[in-house]
Chains A and B, each alone.
Chain A
Amino acid sequence: MIIGSGKPIKDILAMIEGCTKILIIGCRGCVTVCSAGGEKEVGILASALTMARQQEGKPIEIKEMTLERQCDPEYLEQIRGVVDEYGAVVSIACGAGVQFVAEKYRKIPVFPGINTNFIGVTEEQGVWTERCQACGDCKLHLTGGICPIARCSKSLLNGPCGGSANGKCEVNPEVLCGWQLIYDRLKELGRLDLLEVIIPINDWSTSRDGGPRKIVREDLKL
């Protein structure tokens, strides 16, 4: 899923400065699962902003809403009519959600209430880690199901640099060396032979480097 995390309240206060009525919208998708942008977090953010603005002597009226998803147009229709009553929207969906709201409601400023961090997994309660960079050309069959692009700090395709020590990446002792993980897994699978092969220079055109991406499925279009 897409993992997000809250922005500092002072940053959001700076965005909404001058607004007297705002709408905060959450999303029941990924950001609910990672406890960054669901109904509960909408409530917490609304309370925090209300209190802060009261302390500043600039009270604010806040409406709270949480949509099924902010990345599908039909759910965004649920705020049509409502949104016009507010000076600004703070969306605590991922960056896709924030942008889709802004696209659909062009006259009202839409502000991001969270940072969108990465595509990842819940390692344990309260701990999320990155797994995928959406490069658009999956090579996991070559690397034991562990992605060197996402999990090596340098996205190296042919093995670990000299900074791999005791299973950790030199960039941060909290980070596991992606290539150590790949090595260990391929060893378990009896496929260390895969590491002898040079992975050729990558085609990054399927990644962000090719420009904003689009997928069209003619079989699904109405």
Chain B
Amino acid sequence: MTSDSRLEKILERGEFTVTSECGPPRGADPEVIRKKGELIKAAVDAINITDNQTSVVRMSSFSSCVILKQLGIDPVLQMVTRDRNRIALQSDLLGASALGINNVLCLSGDHQKFGDHPTAKNVYDIDSIQLIQTVKRMRDEGKFLGGDELKGVPRFFIGASANPFADPFEFRVVRLAKKVAAGAQFIQTQCIFNLDRFRRWMEQVRDRGLHEKVHILGGVTP
């Protein structure tokens, strides 16, 4: 085990695993998160908290995760590289670990054009694959990207996303392979609406043996 994550434990045992997603509120009221958490707590193994999804400003994923943690839920901290550079990302990773968050999902994030602040400057100092490398380096080597040693290493179960439905289709599995090589331990796919394409993508995943190296959770939406 690389972390104290319940999600990691269950996936490593090979059990059927269900995660869900909570969008934080567009305000400072923690009750919104508590209410959502209580609603689905009994039905899921872990809950993802989105990080300003679609570039709309919301309560931070980090703080929402802490609120869920207080309810006894195993939260998955989503982190996008759109808004923070490597300094801020590493700093938040340390803070998240210190507050008992065990899972992190590394993403590039939606472009700010789609959000409520389309005139913002984006960051993209690093990309999602490089963020996976960053978390792994901090955890396994105990080092910052800059090379200095950490005093107390974070123990994260590292996740990433995959979108088998975007283009170029043949490159999608390459992206997955790179994420796995970078250190991703679990994958959450985008919602599957096209089963045929998902099937073809999974064939490529199996051809490369990636299904044996990483836990893949298929995304479904009601």
List chain A positions with a Cβ less than 8 A from chain B.
Answer: 153-167, 170-172, 177, 179-180, 183-184, 192, 195-196, 198, 200-202, 204
B side interface size, CB within 8 A: 33
Number of A-B contacts (CB under 8 A): 87
CA distance A201 to B143 in the complex (A): 15
Q: Does B139 make an interface contact (CB < 8 A)?
A: no
User: Are the CB atoms of B113 and A162 closer together than 8 Å?
Assistant: no
Distance from A63 Cβ to chain B, minimum over Cβ atoms (Å): 37
Q: Mark B157-170, 1 if CB is under 8 A from A, else 0.
A: 00001010111101
The reply to whether the CB of B125 lies closer than 8 angstroms to some CB of chain A is yes
Q: What residues on A are CB-neighbors of B167 within 8 Å?
A: 160, 164-167, 177, 180
The one of B86, B111, B122, B171 in contact with A160, judged by C-beta atoms closer than 8 angstroms, is B171
Note all chain B residues with C-beta closer than 8 A to A153.
111, 113
Binds A, one of B29-37, B177-185, B197-205: B177-185
Name the prevailing secondary structure of the A interface residues. Answer: loop
Shortest beta-carbon contacts, A-B, top 10: A162-B163, A158-B129, A156-B127, A162-B166, A183-B168, A201-B130, A159-B175, A164-B167, A155-B124, A154-B124
The answer to whether B168 touches A156 (Cβ under 8 A) is: no
Instruction: Give the residues from 86 to 105 in chain B that come closer than 8 angstroms, CB to CB, to chain A.
Output: 86
CA distance A170 to B190 in the complex (A): 16
Q: Are A171 and B129 in contact (CB under 8 A)?
A: no
Would you mind naming 28 contact pairs between A and B with Cβ atoms under 8 Å apart?
Answer: A156-B108, A157-B130, A158-B130, A158-B175, A159-B174, A160-B166, A160-B167, A160-B168, A160-B171, A161-B128, A162-B165, A163-B110, A165-B166, A170-B111, A170-B114, A180-B167, A184-B168, A192-B174, A195-B171, A195-B174, A196-B177, A198-B182, A200-B130, A200-B133, A201-B126, A201-B134, A202-B125, A202-B126
